[in-house]
Amino acid sequence: MLTQTSDPTGVLLGCGVDAEAIDRFETIPASERAWHLVFTEAELAHCHALPRPALGLCAAFCCKESLCKALPTPYNFTDCELYLDPFRGAQDLVISASILHDFGIERVTARIDGPHNGEMIAAVFTFGGRPT
């Protein structure tokens, strides 16, 4: 069960959920060609420093897909970063200033769960300013 436990801040603007198979990030050399479209260099470095890099890549991809579902229009995946801490279920995402500005977002949090049955699951929540 996913429970959003991060500090509630502002008005909930949107949410999105995604699940991906971890092994898609372990056994897909062809897909690595496209990773520069998805992950930043810093994210890739972070993931490759993890004991199981595929977990970090999969969780980050889930968050990017989830954010895509939470936003009204598409965005470039490199404008959203997750530096997975495997010991924390709820984490803030690093979002580019242009995304925050364009969509009136102040904060984006993610609830990351897994691995379960070989998959990672992420629920992403976007928040705007506090109600006046």
Candidates 2, 8, 27, 31; binder of other proteins (CB under 8 A) is: 31
Give yes or no for residue 97 binding other proteins (CB under 8 A).
no
CB of residue 38 vs other proteins: minimum separation in angstroms? Answer: 7
Give yes or no for residue 27 binding other proteins (CB under 8 A).
no
Give yes or no for residue 76 binding other proteins (CB under 8 A).
yes
3-state SS of 53-104 is HHHHHHHHHHHHHHHHHHCCCCCCHHHEECCCCCCCCEEECEECHHHHHHHC
- In angstroms, what CA-CA distances link 45 with 40, 53, 83, 99? 9, 9, 10, 23
Are 90 and 109 contacting, i.e. CB atoms less than 8 angstroms apart? Answer: yes
Nearer to other proteins, 18 or 131 (CB): 18
CB of residue 78 vs other proteins: minimum separation in angstroms? Answer: 8
Q: How far apart are CA 73 and CA 17, in angstroms?
A: 16
Nearer to other proteins, 62 or 112 (CB): 62
Q: Which residues of this chain interact with other proteins, rule CB under 8 A?
A: 20, 24, 28, 30-31, 33-34, 36-38, 61, 65, 68, 73-78
